[in-house]
Amino acid sequence: MEKFAAHTLLSHSEVKNYLIDTLQLFEENTPLIIEEIGDGNINYVFKATDSAAEKSIIVKQSDTLLRSSGRPLDISRNKIEADILKLYHQLVPTYVPEVYAYDEKLALIVMEDISACKNLRHELMVEQTFPTFAEDISTFLVTTLLSTTDLCWDKKEKKQMVKAFTNIDMCDISEDLVFTEPYNNYKNRNVIIEDNQEFVETHIYNNQALIGEVAQLRSNFMNNAQALLHGDLHSGSIFVSQSAMKVIDPEFAFYGPMGYDIGNVIGNLFFPLARAANYSANEAFSQWLTDTIETIYDLVESKLTLAYDQKVTLSLYQNEAFKAHYIKEIMADSLGYAGTEIIRRIIGDSKVAEISEAPDGTQRVLMERHLLKFAEALILNRSEITTGKELLELYRVSAPLAQQNGG
């Protein structure tokens, strides 16, 4: 591979040669099968399989351009992803794939194949349930987030981490797609079904109370270097089985407010819940998902309280009033960011399959309205909700508001 003097996107045959000749992860003349399995917009993902040895690994290479628009991207995000996966492997080794190699010149990561687990979004679309998910994701969130704050980490080392994980390009995408475009469509890229145009105008674009709160959440996202975030922790970045969970794709990682990761997880679980309510008679799945959302919220708070008591040693931070305020702010942020995630996935151009693949018609219109009214209520009332039960009740009482005519 020395022939590549600069970043070059590898072909299937070049991936094979790289794994055999350069990294020597397979024996010479191994009949490797190389498949491109990525379905994202900014990377190429290959699976290399030696069927005879029942061995496979994943090769992920970053492109310098966004596939959909050709927008230039800084491939240093690939190094950030490799570095955070290695850090996660120290903190929560069972919940992330192991990194075998990283090539900075080619912006390429070679890592463990986690295909024994399946994409959570896809699995929830077909109404599969996962009994350990709430326990697993709450442990992942609390451990990775609290451990990387300067309440637990050496303050000087934490400042170096903030510098190392300054992820300008990827944060710029989030600042725009999550916190700006859904509220004013200034780039004319929002995608709204025709029957909801007036509803969005009234309840989002012209809702100054909502926009004022979103501005606070945006400012917090941009300025609160609280903990090292995954940065894009939706259900498509989580892989699950009946007894395991793996988190992937942390290329949006940066130091930000802890509630952003927590809120992304919670917000994305309301999409399959809404879809099931409108298009399914599977009451057992809906009940499991409802219970799971409630449990995740409550477990994150309780585990955060316990981990705080175990890990935070500075006497000043052991003050009970400070601890209570700190955790309350995290949980409130989580609900606010769950709301912004829901809004941007319905209004913006980066959709989720649960919504975009739903059949057109009145049910789709009302489902989107319900989610938008719920997201608005989450953002406006984020400091008043204190339990998972209250969170689900807010979702339920938001449904009748969706029936209202456009305004």
How confident is the model over 143-199, as pLDDT tens digits? 999 999 999 999 999 999 999 999 998 999 999 999 999 999 999 999 999 999 999
The 10s digit of each residue's pLDDT in 351-363 is 999 999 999 999 9
Q: For the chain, what is the mean pLDDT?
A: 94
Q: Which CATH superfamily is domain 12-112 in?
A: Phosphorylase Kinase; domain 1 (3.30.200.20)
Residues forming beta bridges with residue 118, ordered by sequence position: 240
**Which runs of E-coded beta strand occur in 149-223?**
none
- Domain ranges (residues) in the chain: 12-112, 118-403
Q: Could you tell me which residues come within 8 angstroms of residue 300 by beta carbon, excluding any fewer than 6 positions away?
A: 138, 141, 142, 262, 331, 334
Residue 202 structure tokens: 């009234």
Instruction: State the pLDDT at residue 148.
Output: 98
Give 356-363's long-range contacts (Cβ < 8 A, gap of 24+). Answer: 358/275, 358/278, 358/279, 359/279, 360/193, 363/278, 363/279
Instruction: State the pLDDT at residue 255.
Output: 98
372 near 197, Cβ under 8 Å? no
32 near 23, Cβ under 8 Å? no
CA distance 251 to 398: 34
Residue 1 has pLDDT above 50, yes or no: no
Residues forming beta bridges with residue 65, ordered by sequence position: 72
Q: How many CA atoms lie within 13 A of 358 on its CB side?
A: 25
Look up the pTM and report it: 0.93
How many helices (H) and strands (E) in the chain?
15, 10
- What architecture is the 118-403 domain classified under in CATH? Alpha-Beta Complex (3.90)
Residue 128 structure tokens: 């599969």
Q: Where are the alpha helices (DSSP H) in 92-165?
A: 120-125, 133-146, 155-164
Closest CA to 379 of 206, 197, 256, 216: 216
Which DSSP symbol is given to 309?
A: H
Residue 83 has pLDDT above 70, yes or no: yes
Residue 319 structure tokens: 């003050």
46 near 12, Cβ under 8 Å? yes
Residue 404 has pLDDT above 70, yes or no: no
Amino acid found at 102: Y
Q: Could you tell me which residues come within 8 angstroms of residue 322 by beta carbon, excluding any fewer than 6 positions away?
A: 316
Per-residue confidence at 341, pLDDT binned at 50, 70, 90?
Answer: very high
Buried b (16+ CB within 10 A) or exposed e, 117-156: bebbbebbbebebbeebbebbbbbbbbbbbbbbbbbbeee
Instruction: State the pLDDT at residue 407.
Output: 47
Phi-psi region at 30: left, alpha or beta (left = phi > 0; alpha = psi -120 to 50): beta
Domains 12-112 and 118-403 share a fold: no
Residue 208 has pLDDT above 60, yes or no: yes
User: CA torsion angle for 233, 236, 267, 360 (degrees, to 10)?
Assistant: 150
Per-residue confidence at 65, pLDDT binned at 50, 70, 90?
Answer: confident
* First and final C-alpha spacing in the chain: 61
CA distance 84 to 250: 7
